[in-house]
Amino acid sequence: MAPLQKRALYSLITGIVLVVVLVVILISQGSVDAFETDLNIRLITYAIFIGIPLIYLILVDITLRKTTQIDERDILIKERSHRIQWVATILTIVTWTIALTEIYQDQGQVPIVFLTLIFISILVITPIAQSLGILIGYWEMNRNG
């Protein structure tokens, strides 16, 4: 397993675990109102918000700076992984838009807290999706090679 591939896998697993933790915490509190009213929930959310991109930076981006551990193939796979990242970002925005429109259609307005949650979800999804894109790139290369 290539160093970039291994680190992308670690980043993906860590990111998914942190997202599951965040979702479980928010669901266990009963609603997203807990985000507005409970400082501990906000601090946990912000820690995950900062943690996932930071883990990606440490695990993946630092690998790319070590020229002895990567080659042209790794760089090409990383560049192609941006497609997965953009698709995941667009799908996240579409999902939020449809869900919030349907849930709050009768009220005619969406609570402000969702703006923060949408922003956080986009910043959390992008490094996870890029890690997934790197893994898919290696999988396609091995399948076609």
Q: What is the pLDDT along the chain (145 residues), one digit of tens a residue?
A: 888 888 889 888 988 888 888 888 878 887 777 778 888 888 888 888 888 888 878 877 776 666 666 788 888 888 888 899 999 999 999 999 999 999 999 998 998 888 888 988 898 898 899 999 999 999 988 877 6
Residue with tokens 């995950």: 48
Q: How far apart are CA 132 and CA 122, in angstroms?
A: 15
Q: How far apart are CA 7 and CA 61, in angstroms?
A: 9
Task: Give the pLDDT confidence of 49-87 residue by residue, as tens digits.
Answer: 888 888 878 877 776 666 666 788 888 888 888 899 999
**Run of H or E residues at 66:** none
**Pick from 118, 142, 122: nearest CA to 130:** 122
Q: Is residue 124 within 8 Å of residue 20, measured between CB atoms?
A: no
Q: How far apart are CA 86 and CA 126, in angstroms?
A: 8
Q: pTM for the whole thing?
A: 0.79
Copy the structure tokens of residue 43: 């601090």
Copy the structure tokens of residue 121: 């979800």
